[in-house]
Structure 1
Amino acid sequence: MQSNNYYLNNPWIHADRKLSNSSSEWVRSFSCEDLKPLIICRGPIRKEAMDVFDEMGINGYGILLSEKDSITYTNALAPELRKLTDPDRVHRVPDYTGANKEERTKRIQQIVRIAKDNGYNSIFAGYGFMSEDAEMVEAMEEAGLNFIGPCSYTQKAAGMKDQAKRTALATGVSVTPGVNNATSLALFAKYGKDGLEKCAKDHKLKVDFSKCADDEDKALALLHASYDAGIDIIDAKDIGEALKVEAKRMLAEKPNNRFRLKAIAGGGGKGQRILQSANSYKGKTLEERVEQAAAKVPSLVLECLIELKTNGVGDNKNVLIEMNIDTTRHQEIQVVGNGEWCMTMGGRDCSLQMHEQKLLEVSVTVEELEAAIEEASAAGRRAEVTQLKKDLEILNKMEEEGAIFGEAVKLDSVGTFECIVDGEAHYFMEMNTRIQVEHRVTELCYKLKFTNPDNPNDYFIAESLVEVMALIARHGKRLPKPERLVREPASVEARMNATNQALQPHAGGIIEYWSDALEGEIRDDQGISMHNPDTDVFMKYHLAGAYDSNIALLLTTGQNRLDSYTKLAEILRRTELRGKDLATNLQFHYGLVYWFLGNGINARPSTRFIVPYLTAVGELKEATSQIDLDFAYGQIKQKYLADADAKTAKAWATALDMKQLLITRPLERLFSEPHYLSGWLSTHKDVVKISKKSVEWSVNPIELLAELYHFLNMDYEPGKPARYMIWDHDNEVLQAALSFYASLKEKLGTEDFAEIQKALASDKAPKGITKKQWAEVQQAHAGYQAGTELLSVLSYVARKTKFHDLKVNADLSITIPDRLTEKELQDRMAKVLVPPPAAKSDEILAASGGMFYPREAPGMDVFVNEGDHFEAGDVLYIVEVMKMFNKVVAPFSGTIDKCLIDGDGVIIKKGQPLFKVTPDEKIVIETPEDIAKRRQAKTADFLNAIG
């Protein structure tokens, strides 16, 4: 019987949070046991809230489930329902948010009714669908429900990006250059500044313009009146045209810069689009290039609004346009307040992201940076010290500004002050008025001590931000300003998502096995790892494709960043996750963490790092796909046989045949998992030198082979399925070789492989060894080393692809080779990592499962009709996968003969035919024989390189 280590290792489980148990009357007065929350979020935060509420003595909470959530139940029970077995505390709605404003309003009313009818007195929305919806929070407040999160005033003042930017400017907080009043500009363009009062009169809107300080105030007052009335006085087209004018000016001023469009209600990367720079277009004059770039603005505005479902009548459709700082690092400050006091809890670096979705997040604290500065200084790394000192200065400024801003917006819960860092400058980006997915990175580093103002020895400590949210919601301004205490020196979090090797969303899939959490691992997995309480058997779980791709959060702590990364690498190495039609980014994280371990753990990647990195990994896979390992080993074997007499040749043949799978099997695994290969190469840069048709090892290749098996989690373990480990007969050969070299090291008195090789090359036997014994040692050494030449293929591939040109510099910046930033290569390597489904020459197949949309938005024309001619790169359709809308472009040019999918929002499967087409050019399909010949020719190049 296996124990469920998740509960043993997770510091948030079974913690003593019941303040009512305290001997202190003051502490007991902050009990929250009279809260009865309805949890209206999903994913890891829902399970976390349930656990924390249990620990706090908050009983009788309920959870909200949508019908889209429920599609998992036919295959496996939702983890929350394994724990919450009382059906009266589980409530269902058609979906969480609704498809438009009317449905959203109806859903809010439905949630209020569920709460009232079932005796809930509070609402917890986590970081989910409605956590930053000011309209919903206001409705909860009006219904007398206690919202466990920032109040509606804060939601409006900070949650809406345009208002937040105005507040930031008013309080002296640094902001990104750009335009935040597109709706006002559209209003002025349509009615004129002198026509605002007439507009109000024509639309029967009551606006007191006498209280407005200027035209901008008048425009804002008129716009808010229109939102309240549920009418449009301007629409998305008007806003798009107004921003197009502003974009022309900005593009002309900075023709090499890209710009970012952001709908004000967005968050988590949603409702944002990138406007490419003017100079990325072709044109004889700057004016021509600016026109081409700016022409994209109206459609991008529409995409932002549609993605957030804020394009309905009466919706606030404001969209910001800001300079996109391409070298930016994304950092955020954890802010906590009760409406009177406001404080910060350090920072997190979230720069490692793709599609605006964060992947790997690391702590950034004063204590951590001071320790890193001291360590780098002692080691004489001056450039690194300079950068770390800059980071410390920026962190202090961001924390100061975060507290000022939080106080200005009367933050009365937990929020996140998000910034972008560019060199020595930083800019406020937005405030998320909710708890963040990555909040535990902060929780692991700091805890809060609340002390009785009248007695310094009377206090309680909160370690969970969910707990802090409940405390503030229940006790508000009674809570004294806490002191932050260091909990752990460093932490790191990997978001495990349902994505393929190119990090594209992969909907659905069933998790059939997940190894138990390891010591030191904090696995926030929604409870998926819970075993059947009666049989202790892992229960299958079906990943719903209706929501975001996050499956779990994997966290570790350490004495410093290097320690936390090393622990995370070990967790990722030993984690086994298997299932049906299952794709995750587990391998990606393993390779990425090892890339940083090999190149520099304190590196400062920008938000642009991941796509070039993936492109480099794609180049590795493309190169390894050209190598035929069996053919290469056979050629190496033939060389040994050709240089030997008949008797010796027979011995060589036996020895090499015995070792073939021992050597080729882990290489095949690396070749099939390019992310693993990336990690291996990053930490093994100098193990072999290939020069002048020779191979020179700086380490013993036998020991390297054993290390490779360990790296791949293929160590020999009795009882483990053979397909997941080294085979027993191969292990016997490997262990015999390792034992031989261990004895040899002891005899020769050295660990240095170069010295051992030098000694073995001499016929003179070392002291204490007879000449006969020495000859046997030399013969054994030759036998053990035979065939290991093939291992040098790894370094050969790294050299051929220039993999190590992607590197960390002395000042912690990262050199990204120009080729890795080329869009054409990036797109091609994404297809190398995840080849599209094999299709007939007259059809186009679905690249992934999801929801099929043939048009940009309801009411618009379809992208292609039957009979239309399309060019390579033209958009054919949109597929929505796990909340992400992906435009799919034509891989070649041709004509649409037949559209095989009819309607909007149709569910499609990967590989399903979507269009019958006639290509402009005949597609040549390579035969298996052609592929084999090509691979052998490329393999021959490698063999020639090593002689």
Structure 2
Amino acid sequence: MFSKVLIANRGEIATRIARSCKQLGITSVVIHSEADAHSMHVRVADQAVNLGDGPAADNYLNIQAVIKAALDSGAQAIHPGYGFLSENAEFAEAVQAAGLAFIGPTAEAIRTMGGKIEARKVAVDARVPLAPGSDGPIDSADDVEAFGELHGYPVLVKASAGGGGRGMRRINSLPEAREAFDSAVREATAAFGNGEVYLERYLTRARHVEVQVFADKHGNTVYVGDRDCSVQRRHQKLIEESPAPGLSNQMRQAMGEASVRLAKHVGYVGAGTVEFMVEDDKFYFLEMNTRIQVEHPVTEMVHQVDLISEQIRVAFGEPLSIEGNLVATGVAIEARINAEDVAGGLFLPAPGKIDNLVIPTGEGLRFDGGYASGDTVLPFYDSLVGKLIAYGPTREVAIERLLGALRELKVDGIETTAPASIKVLSHEDFRNVEFSTLWLENSVSFEEEEEADRSNVEFGGRYFIIPTFSDYGTGGGGYGAAVAQEPGSAQAGSGRKAGGAKRAVVSDGSIKTPMQGTIVKINVEPGAEVSRGDVLFVLEAMKMENPLKAPFDGIVGDFEVQVGDSMAAKTVLTQVTAGVAA
């Protein structure tokens, strides 16, 4: 077995891998940026290598620096975790060229299956059903128009090189095409170093179901159950569970066998996930993630396996310890705890210091985290704080255990997604398995979380609801806007929506940054005439793009901000004045 492994990652997954290394008697080495010098993964690992004080996220993407750290530390292998370089074929090749073992599939398999376009071609050869998609990468919004005319809307533009919702945009109609295409390319480039994108027909009633596959170097390939990941916002998963509820045994088996065919077709080795969209009694190949998944704990709990340890053993050359295609025992459900403000369903990144973190304990509970009390969730990285998982002999027991744990969880100092998870698990649709990938955004309201924190005042004959920080961006208006109501209206003084309609938004016209981030796009010039809802600036924070919109029709004032500028939270970028240009 390896005596020392370098972990080329950070946060929750680096901490998780370090602990598996310890159980195997392996010395763990982690890398970190200067900003991450005091993070949990640095404290947990046996050794740590500082990659410098350059751009924080770029340190984890510096292939030569990572390999040098491994060689200098005496590591024999590198585990990439998920994200960063985990699905980078060039990195896998460089690791092997340096005489190190890559704990993952071959570079060829990553290149084939990690590139979503090539993966679709392989799926056809492996007799795995596909949803309609572009034949290859697209170059412009013109390609979106042609695809939409042929297949209809909505359409997804997706990053070929990555996952996790990064570089993915839903396009509901042609007028959205250009902005969505440009935004997806920018976000994919920032997250994966590769801006290549392609198109896929969006299935509006589908669930997102994935199959865990595992293969060794001795020709053994198995599937290890399935997971449902349909509860999503911005194409990023919030709740995951295993096994996927409501599937027939016939479909479950067919999806598992299709996944094994796909893995064998490319000579896959290690842990991989084959993702499908399931609609009615049919399933369609979505993509294959050539790495460990964020949601792997639910599979571990219902199958009594350690997927991280299995990855390490397989990379060393040992045969699979997992025999056959396992059948799940019980149900496990995971809630991702992200540093995000859920008010109004906006899920805005909310980095900051965690003053106090109290993790619930009890029967069937598990928490995989990357932070402790006193740690800071930095704005440079993904917002995942940790994952709270509950196991039960039945789905009902697992739901109740997770609900109880979420209510006991304390993360003081920052906003998290825990309230959204409580709402989801309590919802009748979730309990009855009546949901799709669009369910959370279309059917679940988060207005209740907003009401308690607002106060009403009257000024100049108009009633205003003064919002808290969590209102930034509400209703498509400018960040930091107050919500206005006409005197005598059904809403005036009540602070509630009338007939479910969104509140109109007015403000003093100041356009503020809701959190620390970088300006990646400017759509206007000083003096430009804009309409309410027009995107004026795009701020990238925690690897996500956040549009800053005009709060009303008016004229954009002077500003000096430029693309690439790093901005502090609540910085005023410009002022919009009501009226029209002279």
TM-score interval, normalised by the smaller of the two chains: 0.7 to 0.9
Q: Deviations over 1:140-160 (max 9, x none)?
A: 111111011111121012111
* 2:7 equivalent to 1:45: no
Give 1:429's aligned residue.
286
- Structure 2 residue corresponding to 1:57, chosen from 12, 20, 25: 25
Give 2:553's aligned amino acid. S
- Structure 1 residue corresponding to 2:348, chosen from 505, 508, 517: 505
Q: In structure 2, do the counterparts of structure 1 residues 154 and 166 end up closer, same or farther at CA, with 3 Å as the change threshold?
A: same
Give 1:276's aligned residue.
172
User: Percent of aligned positions with the same letter in both sequences?
Assistant: 28
| Counterparts of 1:509 and 1:545, CA distance in 2 | 8
Give 1:345's aligned residue.
224
Q: In structure 2, do the counterparts of structure 1 residues 626 and 391 end up closer, same or farther at CA, with 3 Å as the change threshold?
A: farther
Give 2:100's aligned residue.
145
Q: Deviations over 1:260-308 (max 9, x none)?
A: 112211211112222223xxxxxxxxxxxxxxx1x65455433323212
Q: Do the aligned residues in 2 keep the contact of 1:262 with 1:273 (CA within 8 Å)?
A: yes
Give 1:892's aligned residue.
552
Structure 1, unpaired ranges of 5+: 1-31, 71-76, 184-238, 278-292, 370-387, 448-462, 530-538, 629-672, 675-796, 803-818, 820-824, 856-861, 922-947
Q: In structure 2, do the counterparts of structure 1 residues 874 and 299 end up closer, same or farther at CA, with 3 Å as the change threshold?
A: closer
Superposition deviation, residue 83 in structure 1: 3.2
| Equivalences for residues 514-913 of structure 1 within 5 A | 514-520=357-363, 521-526=365-370, 528-529=371-372, 539-579=373-413, 582-596=414-428, 601-614=431-444, 616-618=445-447, 825=501, 828=502, 841-846=508-513, 848-853=514-519, 855=521, 862-899=522-559, 901-902=561-562, 904-910=564-570, 912-913=571-572
Superposition deviation, residue 253 in structure 1: 3.9
| Counterparts of 2:249 and 2:145, CA distance in 1 | 37
Q: Do the aligned residues in 2 keep the contact of 1:361 with 1:493 (CA within 8 Å)?
A: yes
Superposition deviation, residue 900 in structure 1: 5.1
Give 2:274's aligned residue.
417
| Counterparts of 2:562 and 2:194, CA distance in 1 | 32
* 2:411 equivalent to 1:443: no
| Counterparts of 1:254 and 1:484, CA distance in 2 | 37
Q: In structure 2, do the counterparts of structure 1 residues 800 and 266 end up closer, same or farther at CA, with 3 Å as the change threshold?
A: closer
| Counterparts of 2:10 and 2:392, CA distance in 1 | 29
* 2:318 equivalent to 1:464: no
| Counterparts of 1:96 and 1:150, CA distance in 2 | 27
Q: Deviations over 1:220-253 (max 9, x none)?
A: xxxxxxxxxxxxxxxxxxx216xx25x4444334
| Counterparts of 2:186 and 2:25, CA distance in 1 | 42
- Structure 2 residue corresponding to 1:918, chosen from 565, 573, 577: 577
| Equivalences for residues 298-309 of structure 1 within 5 A | 299-309=179-189
| Counterparts of 1:133 and 1:96, CA distance in 2 | 19
Give 1:717's aligned residue.
none
Match of 1:421, SS state, is strand
Q: In structure 2, do the counterparts of structure 1 residues 905 and 626 end up closer, same or farther at CA, with 3 Å as the change threshold?
A: closer
* 2:209 equivalent to 1:331: yes
Q: Do the aligned residues in 2 keep the contact of 1:511 with 1:542 (CA within 8 Å)?
A: yes
| Counterparts of 1:888 and 1:117, CA distance in 2 | 45
RMSD value over aligned CA atoms? 3.2
Q: Do the aligned residues in 1 keep the contact of 2:526 with 2:559 (CA within 8 Å)?
A: yes
Q: In structure 2, do the counterparts of structure 1 residues 544 and 626 end up closer, same or farther at CA, with 3 Å as the change threshold?
A: closer
Give 1:405's aligned residue.
262
Q: Do the aligned residues in 1 keep the contact of 2:56 with 2:380 (CA within 8 Å)?
A: no
Q: Deviations over 1:744-769 (max 9, x none)?
A: xxxxxxxxxxxxxxxxxxxxxxxxxx
| Counterparts of 2:378 and 2:195, CA distance in 1 | 30
Q: Do the aligned residues in 2 keep the contact of 1:620 with 1:801 (CA within 8 Å)?
A: no
Q: Do the aligned residues in 2 keep the contact of 1:341 with 1:481 (CA within 8 Å)?
A: no
Q: Do the aligned residues in 1 keep the contact of 2:8 with 2:78 (CA within 8 Å)?
A: yes
Q: Do the aligned residues in 1 keep the contact of 2:115 with 2:161 (CA within 8 Å)?
A: yes
Give 2:13's aligned amino acid. I
Superposition deviation, residue 571 in structure 1: 0.8
Give 1:493's aligned residue.
334
Q: Do the aligned residues in 2 keep the contact of 1:266 with 1:272 (CA within 8 Å)?
A: no
| Equivalences for residues 287-298 of structure 1 within 5 A | 293=174, 297=177
| Counterparts of 1:154 and 1:854, CA distance in 2 | 33
Give the structure with higher Rg (CA): 1
Q: Do the aligned residues in 2 keep the contact of 1:240 with 1:297 (CA within 8 Å)?
A: no
| Counterparts of 1:465 and 1:68, CA distance in 2 | 30
Q: Deviations over 1:381-411 (max 9, x none)?
A: xxxxxxx4x5433222111101110111111
Superposition deviation, residue 487 in structure 1: 6.8
Match of 1:492, SS state, is strand
Match of 2:427, SS state, is helix
Give 1:467's aligned amino acid. S
Match of 1:562, SS state, is helix
Give 1:584's aligned amino acid. T
Superposition deviation, residue 479 in structure 1: 4.3
Q: In structure 2, do the counterparts of structure 1 residues 602 and 867 end up closer, same or farther at CA, with 3 Å as the change threshold?
A: same
Give 2:39's aligned amino acid. A
Q: In structure 2, do the counterparts of structure 1 residues 879 and 119 end up closer, same or farther at CA, with 3 Å as the change threshold?
A: same
Give 2:511's aligned amino acid. I
Superposition deviation, residue 587 in structure 1: 1.6
Match of 1:880, SS state, is strand
Superposition deviation, residue 347 in structure 1: 0.7
| Counterparts of 2:190 and 2:49, CA distance in 1 | 29
Give 1:706's aligned residue.
none
Give 1:843's aligned amino acid. S
| Counterparts of 2:449 and 2:545, CA distance in 1 | 29
Give 1:358's aligned amino acid. K
Give 1:769's aligned residue.
none
Superposition deviation, residue 311 in structure 1: 12
Q: In structure 2, do the counterparts of structure 1 residues 915 and 413 end up closer, same or farther at CA, with 3 Å as the change threshold?
A: same
Match of 1:891, SS state, is coil
Match of 1:301, SS state, is helix
Structure 2, unpaired ranges of 5+: 458-469, 472-493
- Structure 2 residue corresponding to 1:134, chosen from 79, 89, 96: 89
| Counterparts of 2:167 and 2:6, CA distance in 1 | 28
Q: In structure 2, do the counterparts of structure 1 residues 240 and 516 end up closer, same or farther at CA, with 3 Å as the change threshold?
A: closer
Q: Do the aligned residues in 2 keep the contact of 1:505 with 1:881 (CA within 8 Å)?
A: no
Superposition deviation, residue 92 in structure 1: 2.2
Q: Deviations over 1:455-492 (max 9, x none)?
A: xxxxxxxx21000100100015x447623555741000
Give 1:252's aligned residue.
149
| Equivalences for residues 110-125 of structure 1 within 5 A | 110-125=65-80
Please state which structure has a larger fraction of its residues in helix.
Answer: 1
| Counterparts of 1:494 and 1:547, CA distance in 2 | 19
Q: In structure 2, do the counterparts of structure 1 residues 516 and 329 end up closer, same or farther at CA, with 3 Å as the change threshold?
A: closer
Please state which structure has a larger fraction of its residues in strand.
Answer: 2
Superposition deviation, residue 504 in structure 1: 2.2
Q: In structure 2, do the counterparts of structure 1 residues 621 and 885 end up closer, same or farther at CA, with 3 Å as the change threshold?
A: closer
Q: Do the aligned residues in 2 keep the contact of 1:62 with 1:91 (CA within 8 Å)?
A: no
Q: Do the aligned residues in 1 keep the contact of 2:226 with 2:299 (CA within 8 Å)?
A: yes
The count of corresponding residues between Structure 1 and Structure 2 is: 541
Q: Deviations over 1:794-813 (max 9, x none)?
A: xxx9x9989xxxxxxxxxxx
Q: Deviations over 1:541-577 (max 9, x none)?
A: 2111111111110001001111100111111122233
Q: In structure 2, do the counterparts of structure 1 residues 503 and 918 end up closer, same or farther at CA, with 3 Å as the change threshold?
A: closer
Give 1:269's aligned amino acid. G
